[in-house]
Amino acid sequence: MAKLNIIIAPDPVLKTKARKVEKVDDRIRKLMDDMLETMYAAPGVGLAAPQVGVLERVIVLDVAGKDEEPRPMRLVNPEIVWASEDLAVAQEGCLSIPEQWADVTRPAAVKVRYLDENGTQREVEADGLLAVCLQHEIDHLDGVLFVDHLSPLKRNMIMRKLAKWKKSQAA
Ligand code: NI
């Protein structure tokens, strides 16, 4: 396994729609292992392939609590096939937008269809943190960041703070 570099916003790669994976092979399995290692090291609860510069529809996540056994999830070509009318507000952050958080409103529950690491089609129904995380990561595959769900005013504020943070890291 290898740790990958996480792309920080703003970056055109993060705004680009990722392409479908044609075949779940060793290359994709290695990518998902590397993404999980990168996510755990960050640390974070989810990571999408575009965040490591790979424009393919692959996400990994693990929403297990600190005192729980890890529950890594690997999803290829994930697709939201149902979303609840009920909405929920949750605070979100992103490894591509470090040190920034904001409340985002999304459907409270979703059903996601995907291919697992063996290429088998599966479905997962989720609410709570997993639902938030799945929607956030699938957004990344369409070039959408959590700040894109905010008002322009709020988004600009976060992007300005991020630019400042980037400068302070470079100094
Ligand atoms: Ni993110």
137: CA distance to ligand 1 center in Å?
6
Domains of the chain: 12-170 (3.90.45.10)
- Residues 119-153: tens digit of each pLDDT: 999 999 999 999 999 999 999 999 999 999 999 99
148: CA distance to ligand 1 center in Å?
11
Any catalytic annotation for residue 137? yes
135: CA distance to ligand 1 center in Å?
10
User: Strand (E) positions, 32-158?
Assistant: 46-48, 58-61, 73-83, 87-94, 97-107, 109-115, 121-127
- Residues 33-58: tens digit of each pLDDT: 999 999 999 999 999 999 999 999 99
125: CA distance to ligand 1 center in Å?
20
Q: How far apart are CA 57 and CA 19, in angstroms?
A: 6
Catalytic one of 56, 68, 123, 137: 137
| pTM over cut 0.85 | yes
